[in-house]
Chain A
């Protein structure tokens, strides 16, 4: 089943902190060469993580729901630098 998560995220309200991503990869080489499962690319509920054609993994946190999954799931490599966005920025749940 192919689902466009973008259509789901489109319903949400965000205040994006442009140019200040709150999640980043610590060592890109680890993602490419040492991590087999690349679970972050499957488990992120907002599809912020993608595996590029060349094996590189990238994260774009604009649609992030701030759950923490990507940080916890990368337990073997501990390769995710994860902070909450600055106060007031990020996801703004209307209902929660």
Chain B
């Protein structure tokens, strides 16, 4: 007789760890299966950690979590080929504990999180890939792994297997991802001495800076770039929708390389030593692209369920929160002596609807479509904004009123007046 658990959690990223932690703490028998050599060895993030979601799971996480810097300054840059226009928001209130956002390094963070999960009593097996789900009719009854005698059974399986979500797809729970619903991000980590980072970014101690970028760096594709400061390294990356990548001829690494050569970005990386190059998909299809989230004996959490807020660059916090709610649903049903049927697991969705997770997913549901159908946000506007700034800031004997007229004209030449008004309206509607 093969082994049987209350719950099997596939994946040891933030969503799987959150679920397994919660279940183990409540005394359910939990098996967590991870294909990586250790938790985190397959995972990629920017990475910004939002304290709130983790605090709900591990209130004392700051005591020993591997955190890099707390963020005191956020920059937003719009770049054209040789300049940027931007806003910087820096506040000393971000220096008050408890800090709200940190940079972190995923392979270290996932390992730490997983140690907490194991301490709580969950059984983790690494270096094991789940090849497919075991079904009895429509009901999930366990998983098949690539180990010898690889069948393992459980009353419920939580699918925390990340963006590709192969297991639910193989079981026929949802179709293949569409190129317009996922972004491909490529990223590098550059090491440099702590003092250099402090000088370059004007920070001290554990303070950190994040820079989010849009504009010519994505060559008209729908996407963004980012640069985050860690303690002794800087991560830089760029991501664009696969549907856009598909229709042009620039490779992802060329895009990253060109971005690194931008005159505003290059000095921030100078002298650094590149120690890793990574790539990962981000599910950015939003609410309208979400798959079914539960059925008889199964639930989907985190990236596998499209839980990413692309506008605010949130993912790991949604992963943790959905993992927590999935676990809490099972804990509640178990206490009531109820089975993990589709009808009962509806409570998982109800919990999400009540939380910030679904409220935010719904709020931004039109955003992906607006950007897909209006490429001017990624090509015309960055150019126009930068030209406008250049015109106003160049002292050349032309009066400011004439300059303003020139700017208005250049906007109207690229986008008709109706186009401009329409764009403003579309953005407002999508963000409203």
Given contacts A45-B186, A67-B184, A93-B44, whether A86 and B278 have CB atoms under 8 Å apart is no
Asked if B252 contacts A72 (CB within 8 A), the reply is: no
Q: What residues on A are CB-neighbors of B276 within 8 Å?
A: 11-12, 93-96
B190-244 residues with Cβ-Cβ distance < 8 A to A are: 233, 242
Interchain nearest-CB distance for A51 vs B (Å): 12
Does B164 touch A at the CB level, under 8 Å? yes
Given contacts A73-B179, A87-B127, whether A11 and B253 have CB atoms under 8 Å apart is no
Q: Which of B32-40, B339-347, B398-406 contacts A (4 or more CB under 8 A)?
A: B32-40
Asked if A43 contacts B163 (CB within 8 A), the reply is: no
Given contacts A67-B184, A72-B182, A87-B129, whether A95 and B275 have CB atoms under 8 Å apart is yes
Interface centre among B126, B146, B258, by most A CB within 10 Å? B146
Does A77 touch B at the CB level, under 8 Å? no
Asked if B146 contacts A87 (CB within 8 A), the reply is: yes
Asked if A68 contacts B245 (CB within 8 A), the reply is: no
Interchain nearest-CB distance for A43 vs B (Å): 5
Interchain nearest-CB distance for B132 vs A (Å): 10
B114-167 residues with Cβ-Cβ distance < 8 A to A are: 126-129, 131, 145-147, 163-164, 166
Give bound CA distance, A42 to B131, whole Å.
Answer: 29
Give bound CA distance, A13 to B129, whole Å.
Answer: 19
Interface centre among B107, B127, B276, by most A CB within 10 Å? B276
Asked if B129 contacts A92 (CB within 8 A), the reply is: no
Q: What residues on B are CB-neighbors of A68 within 8 Å?
A: 163-164, 177, 182, 281
Does B69 touch A at the CB level, under 8 Å? no
Give bound CA distance, A67 to B8, whole Å.
Answer: 24
Asked if B128 contacts A94 (CB within 8 A), the reply is: no
Asked if B43 contacts A43 (CB within 8 A), the reply is: no
Asked if A91 contacts B281 (CB within 8 A), the reply is: no
Give bound CA distance, A86 to B176, whole Å.
Answer: 21
Interchain nearest-CB distance for A33 vs B (Å): 20
Asked if B35 contacts A73 (CB within 8 A), the reply is: no
Q: What residues on A are CB-neighbors of B233 within 8 Å?
A: 95
Interchain nearest-CB distance for B108 vs A (Å): 8
Does B41 touch A at the CB level, under 8 Å? yes
Task: Return the contact of A66 from the options B40, B42, B247, B249 (Cβ within 8 A).
Answer: B42
Given contacts A93-B107, A94-B107, whether A67 and B188 have CB atoms under 8 Å apart is no
Interchain nearest-CB distance for B234 vs A (Å): 12
| Known contacts A1-B258, A87-B126; 6 further A-B pairs (Cβ under 8 A) | A3-B253, A43-B251, A47-B251, A88-B127, A91-B41, A96-B42
